[in-house]
Amino acid sequence: DFEVFVDPGGSCHAYKELELNANNIVWNLMLDRPYGDGGSEHSGRVAKPGDAQYYDVNGLKTATKILEGKVNDSAPNSKVVWSVEIALSHKDTLHNYQWASPPTTGSHWRINFSRVEEQGEINWTWQPQIVWDALEKRFAGKVDMHRPDAWGYVYFDGQVSNDADMDEKNDTVSPRDPTWPARLAAMNVYYAQVVYAEDHAGEYATNMEELEGLIDKVIVDPFDIEIAVSD
């Protein structure tokens, strides 16, 4: 299938996932937080309309087209090539989201795309899922789409483009998210805290000194970071 993940405010909460296959069979869900942080799925698969766990979309438009081969063809060396076109509704994407508003010129949203084949044996991602590994003390790739902090960006430039100038625009570097250095530092501390808690019976560090050796000082030192631990 083909999957789209969107986190409008980059909060790693209430992010949306869309999955569809070559037959244009669509499934939408919302994650209140990543599964690794105890998150749970909100969708029509786990709840009925009116239930707290229910989520579905109204404005989404999708279309698929088989370009080559046949779907589910079991013949040796067979293959299928298909394309997909998707129009996301901002109202659906922003549902139950407190940290973002409809995009304006200059806005950045977090987004990623995944292509899953062979029942999960092949998993391509548009933006590689690279995060800080506090144990190995380096950035490492992870096979886990539910790490919104590692997704790429979509930048809204407020201009309408046509096919004629798309090649030129593809060579243009979009403005960087001005909050990126702070976000990177925050997630560095987050991954360090995860490892720290695993080694301290679920207790988190109460100051940065306790995380010494688990963080990347080049990333966090430019910031004055204080840790507040609450129940």
Using one digit for the tens of pLDDT, what is the confidence trace for 155-181? 998 777 665 555 565 666 778 899 999
pLDDT at position 134 is: 97
Share of the chain above pLDDT 70, in %: 94
pLDDT at res. 72? 83
Exposure class string for 85-113: b at 16+ Cβ within 10 A, else e: eeebeeebbbbebeebeebeeebbbbbbb
- Give pTM, 2 decimals: 0.89
Distance CA 205, CA 149 (A): 21
pLDDT value, residue 164: 57
* pLDDT of 32: 96
Beta bridge partners of 152: 111
Give the whole-number percent of the chain exceeding pLDDT 90: 78
